[in-house]
């Protein structure tokens, strides 16, 4: 008998949690762009299809960032042309600028995401912009996308800590976030890009957004497990009413052999928690773990997800 | 600048948490007994000394289980004879039976622990006893130890899930736990031996003990990270008033290369969380991470602790 056949995890509810959580699956984009191996487009297509089979309803498919910066996703056009989409499943694509938006519109994409920074230093390093001028750059992208009827998400990276600046003031994150929402962005994904946040910070930042009058319905969270805090931070966010959580199937994007494990929260570890808490996700854990074990084989290394390793190792 | 030099993790307190947590360090015993490599006694002595240098005040040093079962700790007598103890630091030793207690008394040990099971099947597999007869076996050990003035802890293994039985009824755990407390045991360590528990179960079990009239001051928690839930479960326990948490320096006992990562919660990952929450532990994170990096070298493999890999990888 496996632990799954024995009915584990046990379901034991806890007060103050949502009934249902939407998982924003970032494996094919944020996961694969941080893997050393470049995965063939056929494998990516099968991966995305299997993620939908497992019950995921939001699958960030790829990115139109220039192939010079992200060679792993250089096949974005080809992938989107061959992707068999399904009703009830969204396949958002990351776009960096107006040229990216043109490509997304040409590909018939209905959901896009842009990637902003909460800190000056990272805005400068990642986009060669000031924190303010990145917003000036995004404004025409978002305005045109919204006018075209697209749904636009805004990643706010370095929302908790920054590798050059250290602590990030919640007020700075709220300020960037509110300007993005004012442009017409429907959801902010508050990212702990370097994985340093702890639960009290999550509480403080969500509290700061609430005080500024931002409904929690516009907020998603995106945690990295660099310091082992991703799942604990996620549960804290759920307690504050957040109902959209980013994660990466099999923990893609973090390598278990690497010196530092900087990967995203693994979707399976998240689903184990939510299944245990009786919070519905629509995801079939066993089907998802099979898919991640299959992808780990394609990448030639074990999955960094603890659940995948325990169930399928 | 390192993240530590930048003042990370940020301190942001959260309501309902204790001011201070005692970490019960199990690396030298529970950690090393589950490593394939047998560590020389000189290395163990240096390890324990360095753990005390880092500020740990309870360091489970070894076990008197028969070397046939745990060859990794066959040097228990030699280690204890050569251990330089310090004021303010406790060095408990696991004893399986009366013969073990004789050996502990001969070695001048003042703190012991016994290891019971919450389930019938594991009592049978681990001790060749029924759940009831294991308690009959422990009773003379505990009674004599208490009469000799020793402090006795009781591990209650399989407190949340069992690999043969599945779900474990909180009432069964409370029943075993209360019988141990009635014998004179000062503290129960509620163990998720196979790492399957989620936060709602932690809440339910601690609630069941409270309803049975057991003060939370007698309860400690011991989580394994097999399914990635150890830290989240620990935070849940702190919210219920638990102030003693078991963990293993560097995540000793879980191998990052193994197919399943069944190890203990890493002390560093716990300290990162508690430093972030402003909960005092007395532990110096950088000193501890140095020690775990040093031990990982002795074991010839990277540490499974995410914090150690991020800070010292």
pLDDT, residue A259, reads 46
Confidence of residue B115 (pLDDT cuts 50, 70, 90): very high
pLDDT, residue B256, reads 55
Alpha helices in B158-219 (DSSP H): 170-183, 199-211
CA torsion B10-B12-B13-B18 (nearest 10°) is: -10
ipTM tops 0.90? yes
HSE-CB of B161 using CA atoms within 13 angstroms: 26
Give the model confidence (pLDDT) of B273-296 as tens digits.
999 999 999 999 999 999 999 999
Cβ contacts (< 8 Å) between A263 and chain B: which residues?
A: none
Q: Would you call A8 and B196 a contact, using CB atoms and an 8 Å cutoff?
A: yes
Query: Strands B187-192 and A22-25: what pairing?
Result: unpaired
CA torsion A126-A128-A129-A134 (nearest 10°) is: -50
pLDDT, residue B123, reads 95
Q: Would you call B200 and A227 a contact, using CB atoms and an 8 Å cutoff?
A: no
Distance CA B234, CA B201 (A): 12
pLDDT, residue B263, reads 85
Cβ contacts (< 8 Å) between A165 and chain B: which residues?
A: 6
Q: Are A210 and A243 in contact (CB under 8 A)?
A: no
pLDDT, residue A172, reads 98
Distance CA A60, CA A65 (A): 14
Chain A residue with minimum CA distance to B194: A3
Lowest-confidence pick of A144-158, A248-262, B192-206, B259-273: A248-262
The token duo for B199 is 């936060």
Q: Angle A124-A130-A132 (CA atoms, 0-180°, nearest 5)?
A: 145
Of B199, B226, B272, the CB nearest to A198: B272
Q: What is the mean pLDDT of chain B?
A: 95
| Chain A interface mutation, best of B17, B119, B274, B276, highest count of A Cβ atoms under 10 Å | B276
Cβ contacts (< 8 Å) between B161 and chain A: which residues?
A: 3, 6, 8-10
Name the minimum distance, in Å, from the CA of B1 to any CA of chain A: 7
- Helix (H) or strand (E) holding B191, with range, is strand B187-192
Q: Would you call B269 and A227 a contact, using CB atoms and an 8 Å cutoff?
A: yes
Chain B residue with minimum CA distance to A311: B260
- Tell whether the model's pLDDT for residue A198 goes beyond 80: yes
Confidence of residue A263 (pLDDT cuts 50, 70, 90): confident
- Tell whether the model's pLDDT for residue B26 goes beyond 90: yes
Distance CA B89, CA B157 (A): 25
Give the model confidence (pLDDT) of A18-77 as tens digits.
999 999 999 999 999 988 889 999 999 999 999 999 999 999 999 999 999 899 999 999
Give the model confidence (pLDDT) of A210-249 as tens digits.
999 999 999 999 999 999 999 999 999 999 999 999 999 9
Confidence of residue A141 (pLDDT cuts 50, 70, 90): very high
Q: Would you call B7 and A167 a contact, using CB atoms and an 8 Å cutoff?
A: yes
Distance CA A222, CA A236 (A): 12
C-alpha to C-alpha distances, B43 to B23, B47, B50, nearest whole angstrom: 22, 6, 10
Give the total residue count for chain B: 313
Size of the A and B interface in Cβ pairs below 8 Å? 198
pLDDT, residue B259, reads 46
Q: Would you call B198 and A260 a contact, using CB atoms and an 8 Å cutoff?
A: no
Of A228, A256, A266, the CB nearest to B307: A228
Of B1, B201, B278, the CB nearest to A276: B201
pLDDT, residue B172, reads 98
β-strand partners of A157: A117
* Portion of chain A with pLDDT greater than 90, in percent: 91
Taking Cα atoms as reference points, which of A63, A98, A59, A97 lies closest to residue A77?
Answer: A63
The domains found in chain B, sorted by start residue, are: 22-312 (3.20.20.70)
- Tell whether the model's pLDDT for residue B171 goes beyond 90: yes
The token duo for B215 is 């003060």
The token duo for A174 is 């709220």
Name the minimum distance, in Å, from the CA of A115 to any CA of chain B: 23
- Tell whether the model's pLDDT for residue B268 goes beyond 60: yes
Cβ contacts (< 8 Å) between B260 and chain A: which residues?
A: 309-310, 313
Of A196, A272, A302, the CB nearest to B198: A272
Confidence of residue A188 (pLDDT cuts 50, 70, 90): very high
- Tell whether the model's pLDDT for residue A260 goes beyond 80: no
Q: Would you call B261 and A306 a contact, using CB atoms and an 8 Å cutoff?
A: yes
Q: Are B61 and B46 in contact (CB under 8 A)?
A: no
| Chain A interface mutation, best of B198, B224, B266, highest count of A Cβ atoms under 10 Å | B198
User: HEC profile for chain A?
Assistant: CCCCCCCCCCCCCCCCCCCECEEEECHHHHHHHHCCCCCCHHHHHHHHHHHHHCCCCEECCEECCCCCCCHHHCCHHHHHHHCCCCCCCECCEECCCHHHHHHHHHCCCCEEEEEEECCHHHHHHHHCCCHHHHHHHHHHHHHHHHHCCCEEEEEEECCCEECCCEECCHHHHHHHHHHHHHHCCCEEEEEECCCCCCHHHHHHHHHHHHHCCCCHHHEEEEEECCCCCHHHHHHHHHHCCCCEEEEEHHHCCCCCCCCCCCCECEHHHHHHHHHHHCCECCCCHHHHHHHHHHHHHHHCCCCCCHHHHHHHC
Name the minimum distance, in Å, from the CA of B198 to any CA of chain A: 6
């Amino acid at each position: 008998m496996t632990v799954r056949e024995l009915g584990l995890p046990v379901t034991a509810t806890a007060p103050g949690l949502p009934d249902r959580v939407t998982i924003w699956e970032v494996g094919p984009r944020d996961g694969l762009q941080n893997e050393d191996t470049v995965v063939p487009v056929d494998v990516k297509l099968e991966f995305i299809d299997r993620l939908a089979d497992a019950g995921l309803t939001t699958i960030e498919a790829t990115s139109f960032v220039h192939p010079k910066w992200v060679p792993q996703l250089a096949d974005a056009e080809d992938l989107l042309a061959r992707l068999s989409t399904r009703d009830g499943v969204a396949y958002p694509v990351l776009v960096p600028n107006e040229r990216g938006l043109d490509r997304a519109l040409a590909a018939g994409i209905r959901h896009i995401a842009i990637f902003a920074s909460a800190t000056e230093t990272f805005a400068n390093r990642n986009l060669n912009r000031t924190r303010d001028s990145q917003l000036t750059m995004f404004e025409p992208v978002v305005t045109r996308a919204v006018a075209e009827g697209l749904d636009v998400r805004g990643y706010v990276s370095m929302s908790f800590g920054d590798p050059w600046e250290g602590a990030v003031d919640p007020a700075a994150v709220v300020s960037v976030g509110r300007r993005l929402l004012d442009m017409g962005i429907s959801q902010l994904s508050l990212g702990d890009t370097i994985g340093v946040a702890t639960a009290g910070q999550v509480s403080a930042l969500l509290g700061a957004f609430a005080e500024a009058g931002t409904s929690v319905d516009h907020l998603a969270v995106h945690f990295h497990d660099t310091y082992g805090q991703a799942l604990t931070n996620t549960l804290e966010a759920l307690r504050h009413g957040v109902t959209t959580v980013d994660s990466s199937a099999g923990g893609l994007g973090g390598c278990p052999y690497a010196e530092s494990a900087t990967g995203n929260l693994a979707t399976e570890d998240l689903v184990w928690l939510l299944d245990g808490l009786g919070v519905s996700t629509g995801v079939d854990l066993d089907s998802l773990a099979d898919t991640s074990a299959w992808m780990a084989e394609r990448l030639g290394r074990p999955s960094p997800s603890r659940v995948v390793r325990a169930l399928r190792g």
